[in-house]
Amino acid sequence: MTSGFCVCKPGFYSTNCSLQCPTMCLNSECHQEKGTCLACSYGTYGDRCELKCLGDCNGQCDRRKGICGICAKNKYGTYCNQTCPINCEAGACMRGTGFCEKCKIGYMGDICNESCPDHCVYCDQNGYKCQMCVNKRYGVHCELICPLECGGNGSCDIETGICNVCPAGYFGKSCSQRCSEWCDSSNICDQITGQCQSCIAGRYGPNCLEQCRTQCMNSACFSNQTCAYGCEDGWVGAQCDMECKAVVLNCVQCYLTDNAPVCTHCADRWYLLDANCIKCPENCSLCVSSEECLECENNFYYGKTCNLACNTACINKTCDITGICEHGCDNSKYGKECDKDCMKHCKTCLNSTMCLECEAGYFGKSCTMCSKIFDGSIRDHGCPIGSKSCSSLAGVLSFSDKAPDAEPRRPLAGRVADRRCSVLRPRPDLSEVDASLANNRRNRPCENGARKRDGGGAAVGQLTYVSAAGRRFGKTDDIVSKYR
């Protein structure tokens, strides 16, 4: 109780709080005694908020007169009951006049009922000046054409005509100037100044006109000439401008101590001793001291100081630093150092018992002398008189107009399958042999395991002799038995 009056709960009024506030009162609040609304709900006015606002209000209206304080979107007038022009941007116009606050793109005028000039995308409302042109146009009314060299979409500044973007490799107001050829691979430079964004390897400076020192690793340096990746061999310093060999003769690698080069590696044929380069022994191409060579000159020498010549029997006369021949032996020698003699009549051998190549007239791993024939008798292994060599192929004796080393015609049965002879002088007259063979072949025994043909003929699997005219002695599948 206060002065004898009740304090009512929200929504009620009167001296005893028995009456409800009007339903349109904002938040159901009204005067404690009179019951008039303290404020009205949206769209109403009057003491009891029983009246609707006059027009389309954007919010509340005057509580007593019903006039809108702010009009709804796209409305204007005292009572907000008129529609704004259709080309007003976002439907916004002035309440009193209905003039558009801003026009949609492409229109101008107070109520935006006129089109902007040609090529003008957006203009000010009075149409005096374009604020945006279509691509490749500029000027007050977009009546001018941008420079043809403009990059991107070809646009330029609407007032100055300066290109907004230049194509790669060009700069300037109209993009008519070329960037430096030394700009990096993308060839990009500042559009106004032409300064390269970065330089190709080996160049530096605003326009990459300066060349890095060749002593810089990969020819790369920064704008202050400091080498980016260090120095090539033989140079030191931030700018690789100090040469190692200028301080120590024949030095190829060094480092800086107290701003002075100290040698760490010498050139070939020199070795490092107390930060100095000393010459290696004679015939030594790489060494670590005067008493220890790692490589000898052209591999013609060997030994700790390369003072020994390789064995002349080494192929190419070369050997490793221990004296072992690199490519094998020649001159009938064998062994790691080619210091051992092959067997007699052997040109190339693997060891003392295995010959790989015999002299002419010898064959087999032991270089056995080739046998001869046509000297009045037929001998083992069948090398004819005048024959100079025989090979380790299947032995066949065939005389024809072919070259002496031609492929043999028929294998020699019962023989060691490693003989073929080469005839180096005119073939004998086989007609003289024919009679001798005809008279003797029935009466003499076969050798080397050959079998006689039934009826006393020539042994199967033995020799068939062919004359120059191609006439055979003996049948194709028969061979003449060997006689002594």
pLDDT at res. 390: 56
pLDDT at 76 over 80: yes
HSE at residue 221, side-chain half, CA atoms within 13 A, is 26
- Separation CA 440–CA 458 (nearest Å): 10
pLDDT at res. 19: 93
Helix (H) or strand (E) holding 355: strand 355-358
The mean per-residue pLDDT over the stretch 451-475 comes to 38
pLDDT at res. 4: 62
What is the model's pTM? 0.38
The mean per-residue pLDDT over the stretch 227-255 comes to 87
Q: What pLDDT digit, counting tens, does each position of 291-331 carry?
A: 999 999 888 999 999 999 999 899 888 999 899 998 888 87
What is 163-223 written as a DSSP string?
BSSPPTTEESTTS-EEPPTTB-TT--B-TTT--BSSB-TTEESTTS-EE--TTBGGG-B-T
Residue 199 confidence class, pLDDT cut points 50, 70, 90: confident
Name, in order, each residue with C-beta under 8 angstroms of 370's C-beta and a sequence gap of 6 or more.
361, 362, 363, 381, 383, 387, 389, 390, 419, 421
- Least confident range of 184-188, 230-234, 466-470: 466-470
For the chain, give the mean pLDDT.
77
- Separation CA 341–CA 335 (nearest Å): 9
Residue 477: closest CA among 397, 388, 421, 410: 410
- Least confident range of 21-35, 282-296, 424-438: 424-438
The mean per-residue pLDDT over the stretch 48-56 comes to 87
| Token digits of residue 44 | 């109403």
pLDDT at 460 over 50: no
How do strand 355-358 and strand 114-115 relate by DSSP bridges?
Answer: unpaired
Name, in order, each residue with C-beta under 8 angstroms of 43's C-beta and a sequence gap of 6 or more.
52, 53, 57, 60, 61
Q: To the nearest 10°, the Cα dihedral for 349, 352, 353, 357?
A: 20
Quick check: 390 and 367 in contact, CB under 8 A?
no
Q: What pLDDT digit, counting tens, does each position of 344-356 carry?
A: 899 888 888 899 8
What is 99-111 written as a DSSP string?
-BSSBPTTEESTT
Helices (H) and strands (E) in the chain, counts: 2, 38
Domain map (residue ranges) of the chain: 1-83, 212-272, 370-484
Enter the DSSP assignment of 140: T
Q: To the nearest 10°, the Cα dihedral for 57, 59, 62, 65?
A: 30
Residue 453: closest CA among 432, 478, 431: 478
Residue linked to tokens 């060009």: 170
Residue 98: closest CA among 81, 115, 118, 114: 81
pLDDT at res. 123: 87
pLDDT at 429 over 60: no
- Separation CA 213–CA 232 (nearest Å): 10
Residue 165: closest CA among 182, 146, 180, 184: 146
Query: Would you say the C-alpha torsion 96, 102, 103, 109 has a positive or negative sign?
Result: positive
Query: Would you say the C-alpha torsion 317, 318, 324, 330 has a positive or negative sign?
Result: negative
SS3 (DSSP) at 244: helix
Residue 62 confidence class, pLDDT cut points 50, 70, 90: confident
- Separation CA 390–CA 401 (nearest Å): 18
